[in-house]
Amino acid sequence: MNFDIDDSIKILCDKIRSLYQEPSDTAGVRFHPSEALETRNGLLKNLKSLSGLGYFDMGIEDGRNSIALARARETMACLSPSLFLSVEMSTRIFGALIALYGSSEQKEEILPALKGGTLIGAVGLTETGMSLENMAMETTGRAMEESITLSGEKPYVLNGPVADLIAVAGKYEAENPGVGFFLVDRASAGLLIGPRISTVGFEGTALSSITLNDCQLSPKSLMGPFEGNEVFTKLRNWEDQVLTTAALGLMRRSYESALKYAREHESGGKPIIAYQEIAFKLAEMLTLLQTSQLLAYRAAWMDETGDREADVLARCAKVFCSESAQDVTNQAMQILGIHGYCSHNRVEEAYRDVRYLQVSGTSSEISRMKIADWIMH
C-alpha cells in the first residue's frame, strides 16, 4: 500500500502545467476556436507539444489505464477541458483502437504519426436509436470485388470536423461477416461531414455528424471483422476513463477557483471564506474531490494490475466522479456568485462542460445497472 503519488508522475504533470502557463487567474486555458481550420491547427499544435512531453507514451500501445495516466489526464483536463477531450479522443482512444485491433500495416502507417502529434483521429460509433447492449448498427460496409462500399450515418462524432481519419463502426457484409471498423480518410468521396453542432459545454471540441453515401474504401481500411462485442466494450471503457478523469479535472479547477475567490472576495469587512456557509461548502467540495481522486486512481490501478474487480470499480468511479463533479461545479458557481454567472471564467466553463460527463460514455443509468448486475451475478 502506498498513497503517495510517484515523483515521475509529478514531474510529468508539472511539465504539462508548464506547457499551459495560464494567461490569467480566472481565464484558464481557453480553447474555443469556432472555425474548423482554426480548431484543426490549434489542435495539431497542441498535439505536437504534448507528444514532446511523452503524454502519449501511456495507454495507447496496451490500451491500459494506470495511475500515471489518470493523474496526467486530470491535470490536462483541469487546464483546458475542451482541448483535453479533443486530444484524448483523437490520439489515445483512436490510437488504442488501432494499436489493439488494427492490422500491422495500419499500425505502421498510423501510430507513429498519431503519437507524433501530426494526425488527428476520430471514432464514429453511436447511432440514433442504437445502444451498445443490442448493437443494432445500421452503418454497413459491403465487400465488393476490390473495394468496400460503406453507407450509413453517425450523428455525433467528436473531432468529426477536424479529423484526418475516422474509424467508423459498422456491420461488415462479406463471406465472413461480422462487425468492424472502417478507416475513412477525410478526403474520401462519399464522406459528408455535417456542420459543427453547437453544444452546452466543451465548446472547443468540434462535434458533427458524418454521413457515408456509398463511400468507396480500400479493403485495407477494414479493421475486423470481430466476433462479439469485446472491441466495443473496450472502446466504451476507454471513453469512460477519459470522462472520469475529466470529472477530476473539472472538480479541481472549480474547487481551486472557488477557494481563491473566497479568500479574496470580501463581504461585511471580511473574506467570505470566514463565513461557515462558504467555508463548509468548500470543505464538502474538497471532500468530494479527494474521494473521487482516490476512487478513480484505484480503478486505474486495478486496470493496470488486472484486478478481478477492475470493471466494476471503473463504473463506480465513472458514476461517482461525474456526479460529484456536477455537485462541485455547481457549488463553485454559487460561491463565485454573479462573477461565476458571467461568461468566460473557469468555473462557468466547468459548470457547462460537466453536463457532458454523465450522459456520455456509459451513462450514469447504464453504469448503475451494470454495477448491480455485476454484484448480483
Partner 1 sequence: MDFSFSEEQKLFREQVIRFAKKEIVPRVREHDLAGKFDFESFRKLGNFGILGLHFPEDFGGSEADVVTSVVAGEALGEAGVDGGLTLAYGAHTFLCADTIFTHGSKALREKYVPRLASGEWIGCMGLTEPGAGSDVASMTTRAVKENGRYVLDGSKMFITNGPIADVAVVYAKTDKNLKHAGISAFVVEKDTPGFSAGKPLQKMGVRSSHTSELIFENCQIPEENLIGREGAGFLMAMQTVEWDRSALMAPFIGGMTYGLNKCIRYAGERIQFGRPIGSFQAIKHKLADIKIFIEAARTLVYRVAWCKDQGRPLNHLEAAVAKLFVGDWSLKPANDAVIIHGGYGYCHEYDVERNFRDSRLAPIGGGTSEIAKKIISKLM
Strand, coil or helix: 224:
strand
Give the containing element (helix H, strand E) for 267: strand 266-267
Per CB under 8 A, does 4 bind partner 1? yes
Of 73, 298, 346, 352, the one binding partner 1 (CB under 8 A) is 298
Per CB under 8 A, does 11 bind partner 1? no
Pair 202, 250: CB distance under 8 Å:
no
Cβ of residue 288: shortest distance to partner 1, in angstroms?
8
Residue with cell 443509468: 365
Of 93, 282, 333, 350, the one binding partner 1 (CB under 8 A) is 282
What is the rounded distance in angstroms from the CA atom of residue 38 to the CA atom of residue 55?
23
Distances (CA, A) of 236 to 95, 123, 224, 311: 14, 11, 17, 11
Of 280, 341, 344, 359, the one binding partner 1 (CB under 8 A) is 280
Q: What angle do CA 274, 275, 279 make, to 5 degrees?
A: 80
Of 37, 233, 284, 337, the one binding partner 1 (CB under 8 A) is 284
Distances (CA, A) of 186 to 15, 113, 119, 146, 302: 33, 16, 12, 21, 37
Per CB under 8 A, does 132 bind partner 1? no
Please say which residue, 78 or 98, places its beta carbon nearer to partner 1.
Answer: 78
Give the containing element (helix H, strand E) for 274: none
Site string for partner 1, 211-250 (x = CB under 8 A): ----------------------------------------
Per CB under 8 A, does 131 bind partner 1? no
DSSP output for 114-156: HHTT---EEEE---TT--TTT-----EEEE-SSSEEEEEEEEE
Per CB under 8 A, does 143 bind partner 1? no
Please report which residue ranges of 20-80 form alpha helices under DSSP H.
Answer: 36-53, 67-79
Pair 332, 255: CB distance under 8 Å:
yes
Residues 6+ apart with CB under 8 A from 291: 320, 324
Per CB under 8 A, does 373 bind partner 1? yes
The sign of the dihedral angle between the CA atoms of 75, 259, 24, 352 is positive
Per CB under 8 A, does 359 bind partner 1? no
Please say which residue, 338 or 375, places its beta carbon nearer to partner 1.
Answer: 375
Per CB under 8 A, does 266 bind partner 1? no
The sign of the dihedral angle between the CA atoms of 181, 158, 193, 55 is negative
Cβ of residue 315: shortest distance to partner 1, in angstroms?
8
Of 144, 294, 342, 359, the one binding partner 1 (CB under 8 A) is 294
Of 178, 189, 290, 341, the one binding partner 1 (CB under 8 A) is 290
Site string for partner 1, 300-329 (x = CB under 8 A): -xx--x------xx--x--xx---------
Site string for partner 1, 48-77 (x = CB under 8 A): -------------------x----------
Q: How many residues bind partner 1 (CB under 8 A)?
A: 41
Positions touching partner 1 (CB under 8 A) are 1-6, 67, 259, 273, 276, 279-280, 282-284, 286-287, 290-292, 294-295, 297-298, 301-302, 305, 312-313, 316, 319-320, 365, 367-369, 371-373, 375-376
